[in-house]
Amino acid sequence: MPKSRGPLDDFPARLYAARALRKLSQGELATRASLQPSAISHFETGTRKPSFDNLKRLADALEVTTDYLLGRVHALDAHAGADKLHRHFERLSANDREVAEQLMTFLAERNKARRRKEG
């Protein structure tokens, strides 16, 4: 019988990928997440698993969801705040939804243009 995969089996690779995408050193990520740099190293090598609180800190510091770090979703660029925005969106009137969608589109395009200038 094959060994079943646990929820943290993908975690080391996901943590490394998110850190690399954000162009952070282990030390920089540790500072942002209020952890020790050695903890980041242990998490990335799989020798230690994060507590739930540390998982949340890492996700917030990397601006990804805990679901991404746990391998439950594949989209690295999904941001943790998206679910919160979606919940608010559901409560808006049809007119306000249209305005919110236009604003989000404008902000996304502005950010895209800013990244092109920087890169």
- Residue 111 has a pLDDT of 87
Phi, psi torsion values for 68, nearest 5 degrees: -65, -50
Asked whether residue 92 carries a pLDDT value surpassing 90, the answer given is: no
81-86 mean pLDDT:
64
For the question of whether the overall pTM of this predicted structure is more than 0.75, the answer is: no
Asked whether residue 77 carries a pLDDT value surpassing 70, the answer given is: no
Asked whether residue 31 carries a pLDDT value surpassing 90, the answer given is: yes
CA neighbor of 14 nearest in space, from 86, 84, 78, 83:
78
